[in-house]
Amino acid sequence: MPENYTIDMPEAVRNIIHTIEEHGFKAYAVGGCIRDSILGRNPDDWDITTSAVPAQIKTFFKRTIDTGIVHGTVTVMVNKTGYEVTTYRIDGEYEDGRHPKSVEFSDRLVDDLCRRDFTINAMAYNDTDGFVDEFNGLDDLDAKIIRCVGEPELRFTEDALRMMRAIRFSAQLGFIIDEDTYSAIGAMADTISKVSMERIHDELGKILMSDHPDYVKRLCDTRLTQYVLPVMDSILTDRRCNSTLTLLMHAGHSPYLRYAALYNATDADNANAELKALKLDNNTINTVTKIVRLSKTSIDETEPAVREAIHMYGRDFLPLLMRHQTSVIAAKEETTGIMMTAARKHVEVINRLYEEIIKRGDCISIKDLDISGSDLMELGMSGPRIGETLNSMLHIVMENPKLNDKETLIAMLGTLE
């Protein structure tokens, strides 16, 4: 990294820093945005750290939001974007392995940097002073290392979530984890149970969606999964491990597909139980469980069978299932070295039939029928028979779409039982 390296901060960030400096205080862009800029990745958000306290920040800008005044954070609004401006902070004693009991403001940047988790996340920058890199984050970025700021066991004692964050950043960036940091995770693994499942699934989701989803193995090697995710732990510690990691590397870029790959080697009920324990949203739980349950399902290569499958599993679900089955095939091919031509062709045929059915707008649900419940009522039908009749008609029409015509369907009425 050249000495005079500069970071191209967004104009709004430069202006905020400049405004704070004009009032006689210090301000820097800090944390993830600096790390990502140096790596040439687009930062999600730009955090600013400052020597000014929230009450002062609020007087420097027209539009601010009190995001977390007690923690020193004020959001400064520029046009429609918010930038979090946080006072230099020293985190007090941690009471529950997750949250500092109190926070104290400081007027020294280094205090704020040393409360941060990893060296690569503990760098600050502004145009006046350039980089402030007290913990050699630049060197670790170069060497691709995740390393705790300070003593790892102490830092994980303060906040157990950091253990998951270490593995998550290693997966997102393709970094190794420094030996001391890594062994401290192993030593402290049991304390992960203090972390809420919502935070655990946030981090797990980021690992799964990264370019290195197979780094989930590190969660298991450090024994983190042993305490909170028993199903995943058993998959990744027995003979199913390699095929699962290979499958993850072939899985499409969707949380459903990544979770389904992770749990593909267990049965749907086990997968469902762990997804629930992870407190994922119901849609994810149901979709992933369904993929795992239907992972080996084979649909007949006929239009009626594909229409039935779309009706039964859902219009959006079938393509997802096919993507999953394609990944399973690719992973098996990689593991065995044997091409599965027939299986690939089968998925291709189902995909093609699906496309054609959707493009033509074939009838795949009761609302697509050329006859409705009120039509049947007008013909004197009532009660549950209406639904049953429509359902019978749907299956007939899915078998033979030409029959989806009101007169034909009415003519058919007498034959339905």
| Interacting residues toward ligand ATP by CB under 6 A | 31-32, 44, 47, 116-117, 121-122, 159, 161-162
Beta carbon of residue 232, minimum distance to ligand ATP (angstroms, whole number): 22
| Residue 117: CB minimum distance to ligand ATP, A | 4
Closer CB to ligand ATP, residue 165 or residue 307? Answer: 165
Round the CA-based radius of gyration of the chain to a whole number and report it.
Answer: 28
- Beta carbon of residue 146, minimum distance to Mg ion (angstroms, whole number): 16
Cβ nearer to Mg ion, comparing 32 with 401:
32
CA 303 to chain centre: 35
Residue among 99 and 276 whose Cβ is closer to ligand ATP:
99
* Least Å from the CB of residue 120 to ligand ATP: 8
Of 32 and 137, nearer to Mg ion (C-beta) is 32
CA separation for the pair 357, 228 (Å, rounded): 44
Euclidean distance between CA atoms 195 and 166, whole angstroms: 15
Q: Is residue 137 within the footprint of Mg ion (CB under 5 A)?
A: no
Residue with smaller CB distance to ligand ATP, 159 or 214: 159
Which residue sits closest to ligand ATP, CB atoms considered? 32
User: Phi and psi dihedrals of 308, rounded to 5?
Assistant: -60, -40
Ranges of H-type helices in 251-316: 255-263, 268-277, 282-294, 303-313
Cβ-based burial of 248 (10 A; exposed 0-12, middle 13-18, buried ≥19): buried
Q: How far apart are the first and last CA of the chain?
A: 79
Contact call for residue 120 and Mg ion (CB under 5 A): no
- Residue 120 identity (one-letter amino acid): I
**CB neighbours of residue 135 within 10 Å:** 22
Select 27 or 306, whichever has its Cβ closest to ligand ATP.
27
Residue among 85, 91, 107 at smallest CA distance from 25: 107
**CB of residue 209 to Mg ion, shortest distance in Å:** 15
CB of 45 to Mg ion, least distance (A): 5
Contact 235/223 with Cβ under 8 angstroms? no
**CA–CA distance, 105 with 107 (Å, rounded to integer):** 7
One-letter amino acid identity for 34? I
- Quote the least distance from Cβ 205 to Mg ion, whole Å: 15
Helix (H) or strand (E) holding 179: helix 179-188
Among residues 30, 32, 133, 309, which is the contact residue for Mg ion, using CB under 5 A?
A: 32
Cα–Cα nearest to 192, from 216, 169, 161 = 161
Q: What whole-number distance in Å separates Cα of residue 16 and Cα of residue 27?
A: 8
Nearer to ligand ATP, 32 or 54 (CB): 32
Between β-strands 81-87 and 73-78, what pairing exists: parallel, antiparallel or unpaired? antiparallel
For the bound state, the minimum distance from the C-beta of residue 26 to Mg ion, rounded and expressed in Å, comes to 21
Give the integer Cα–Cα distance in Å for 194 and 110.
29
Of 12 and 412, the one with the shorter C-beta distance to Mg ion is 12
CB of 113 to ligand ATP, least distance (A): 8
Picked from ligand ATP, Mg ion, none, the partner binding residue 303 (CB below 5 to 8 A depending on kind) is none
Question: Helix, strand or coil for residue 103?
Answer: strand
Indicate the DSSP class of residue 72: T
Nearer CB in complex with ligand ATP: 209/273: 209
Partner whose binding site includes residue 121, from Mg ion, ligand ATP, none (CB under 5 to 8 Å by kind): ligand ATP
Binding region for Mg ion (CB under 5 A) = 32
